[in-house]
Amino acid sequence: MVLGYRKRLTLTYLLVILSALVLIGVYLTRAIQGYFIARLDDEMEAKTFLVSELVRQGLEEERDVTAMDALTDRIGREIGLRVTVISPSGVVLGDSEEEPRTMENHATRPEVLESLKTGTGMAVRYSTTLGTRLRYVAMPVMSADGDRVVGFVRLAMSLSQVDRFMGIIRRLIVHAGTLALLMAVVLSVLLARSVGNPLRDMAEAARQIARGDFGRKIRVASPDELGQLGDAFNYMAAELEHNISELSERKNRMETILGAMADGVIAVDPSGRILLVNHAACEMLGISEERARGKCVLEAVRNHDLAESLESARRGEADTRETRLRNPRQAYIGVRSAPIFEAERDAVAGAVAVLHDVTELRRLEQIRADFVSNVSHELRTPVTSIKGFVDTLLDGAMEDKETLQRFLGIISHETDRLAQIISDLLELSRIESRGTEVRKSAVSLRGVIDAALGIVQDRARQRGIDITVDIDPGFPPVPADEALLVQVFVNLLDNAVKYTPEGGHVKISACRDKGGVTRVDVTDTGIGIAPEHLPRLFERFYRIDKARSRQLGGTGLGLSIVKHIVERHGGRVSVASTPGVGSTFSFMLPDAGSPAAASQQPPRQRRTGSDEPRGL
């Protein structure tokens, strides 16, 4: 059983006071007893001297025992003590309480022997004659001339009187001690309460502070150290509340910043165990924050480049490197690690690594390289062709009119193709530009299709390709830029006509779902597209059959233009194809006020090339 502080304090006070009272009682009892016995000895010594003077004459005259016994009886009655007169040989001549003739020789009594040496002998012993403890004082009786001992006088007093007196004294001390103890109990309880209650309040306030409640205050009215302790505790609680509030605010701010960061952050302690990992890092590395915290980097991530970078930072050396991840997806991650130094000592307290996903940057670099290569190739082909035919003509082929006419036709065709490539590039650049405004209005889908058909219908008739439109004339208008939407249909229909064999069929259909999204399908019975080409079909200059595409006059930019126009309208484009059966190119346009419009609208952010076509 654990006693409370107040009970222990009360018991401590009581034990101290009780011990003091016991010591004081024992000391007083012995002191009073010693003082009383000393006074008694002095008194008995004085009476012994007086009695010796009274019996000297009788001892010198050697009176008989009867006369001496009578004298001792009378003196004993007068002084109230036992009086014994002893001859120099130790024979008892008289005793106030016993018959002298029956008493044994007293020459060897301690008090008698001591009186011969010091002049006064004292002893305490049990008297077999009287059956009680007696205190004896003996003194030799000298002759009148003082040259010889004529006898001894001994006085005796029963110590039962002393014991009764000391019993009374002890009872008085016990009563006084009991009263003092009762008063001490009351004072101890009050004192323990005056000290224990504030301490109890402080303990309760400390528990509340540990639970996060800083409103509890200690009320101590005393100006002593306890009151100063209460004031210090209140000040500590206020400072603690302020500091914890500030730390909590900093922690929340840091967590908000780390959570909102697109870059990943990992912090480790001096032993290399993960202290902190934000949401972006978890997504990049495919780990869980709860499972990763407290583990070594290799246990949680299993990426040696990241572990080595943090290990280098823990040694006090900043590190920058790039690593490739394969789980949960293939990605390139730039890692920048730096040591964390302690504030007061120049010692490394851990390390932090910032992870930046450079996958898109590497992809864009590849796209730019491919684009430059494709543009160079696409432009070099007609330019080389033109240059070759011009050089041939200059070398003398102009003299042959048939050759001249044929070469000039080829040069014209290549020039047109070169102009078309440049025009498509400019158009694609204009569409991609975020500064180019898409002027949306309520556009009749059937009217846009008719305008597009007017451009491609002649080529379709030449190839015997039938184009049908399966759209109700009352189909609701769609919010779009009419000129750009016409271009979408022109490119899709032109592409379908090019890759559909003669006598084929092209169908245009449209529908609208409950969410207000309009879906348009352009289906042909052409040669189809192999599955491995579908993901890259909407990339710039991407061709399935380059020779056939150039022969048909394609620039490789038409589908890329379609994709960008549809995305600028907040929609998306897709393709489904079966080789030898045909293809269906689809795009969806949301209404201006529909949820799909908000969800599919591309974000307004700094252009990084992330909208480069990657296929479906």
* Structural contact between residues 277 and 293, judged by C-beta atoms closer than 8 angstroms: yes
Cα(541)–Cα(370) distance, integer angstroms = 9
Torsion of CA 140, 141, 146, 148, to 10 degrees: -70
pLDDT value, residue 607:
35
Go through the domains of the chain in sequence order and give each one's CATH number: 5-166 (3.30.450.20), 261-357 (3.30.450.20), 362-428 (1.10.287.130), 434-600 (3.30.565.10)
Alpha-helical segments (H) within 521-588: 546-551, 558-568
Give yes or no for residue 207 having a pLDDT over 60. Answer: yes
Q: What is the pLDDT of residues 102-149, one digit of tens each?
A: 888 888 888 889 988 888 898 888 777 667 788 889 999 988 777 888
pLDDT category of residue 598 using cuts at 50, 70 and 90: very low
Q: What is the mean pLDDT of residues 415-424?
A: 69
Give yes or no for residue 80 having a pLDDT over 60. Answer: yes
pLDDT value, residue 434:
56
* Structural contact between residues 557 and 425, judged by C-beta atoms closer than 8 angstroms: yes
Cα(573)–Cα(412) distance, integer angstroms = 35
Q: What is the pLDDT of residues 515-532, one digit of tens each?
A: 778 899 999 998 888 888
pLDDT value, residue 374:
61
pLDDT value, residue 523:
93
Give yes or no for residue 5 having a pLDDT over 70. Answer: no
pLDDT value, residue 303:
86
Highest mean pLDDT of the ranges 47-56, 230-239, 604-613: 47-56
* Lowest-confidence pick of 254-258, 304-308, 535-539, 600-604: 600-604
Cα(594)–Cα(393) distance, integer angstroms = 62
* Nearest of 45, 71, 56, 52 to residue 144 by alpha carbon: 56
Q: What is the pLDDT of residues 353-390, one digit of tens each?
A: 999 888 888 777 776 766 666 666 566 667 777 777 77
pLDDT value, residue 354:
92
Give yes or no for residue 258 having a pLDDT over 70. Answer: yes
Give burial (CB, 10 Å; 0-12/13-18/19+) of 62. exposed
pLDDT value, residue 373:
60
pLDDT value, residue 508:
92
Q: What is the mean pLDDT of residues 562-580?
A: 87
Cα(570)–Cα(603) distance, integer angstroms = 10
Question: Is pLDDT larger for residue 310 or for residue 329?
Answer: 310
Q: What is the pLDDT of residues 24-56, one digit of tens each?
A: 888 888 888 788 788 888 888 898 889 888 888
Question: Is pLDDT larger for residue 98 or for residue 431?
Answer: 98
**Computed over its alpha carbons, how large is the radius of gyration of the chain?**
63
Average pLDDT value for the chain: 80
Q: What is the pLDDT of residues 315-350, one digit of tens each?
A: 888 999 988 888 777 888 899 999 988 866 678 888
Q: Is the pTM higher than 0.75?
A: no
Tell me the backbone φ, ψ of residue 137, rounded to 5 degrees: -130, 120
* Nearest of 137, 133, 131, 136 to residue 163 by alpha carbon: 133
Provide, rounded to the nearest whole percent, the portion of the chain with pLDDT above 90.
9
Question: Is pLDDT larger for residue 422 or for residue 26?
Answer: 26
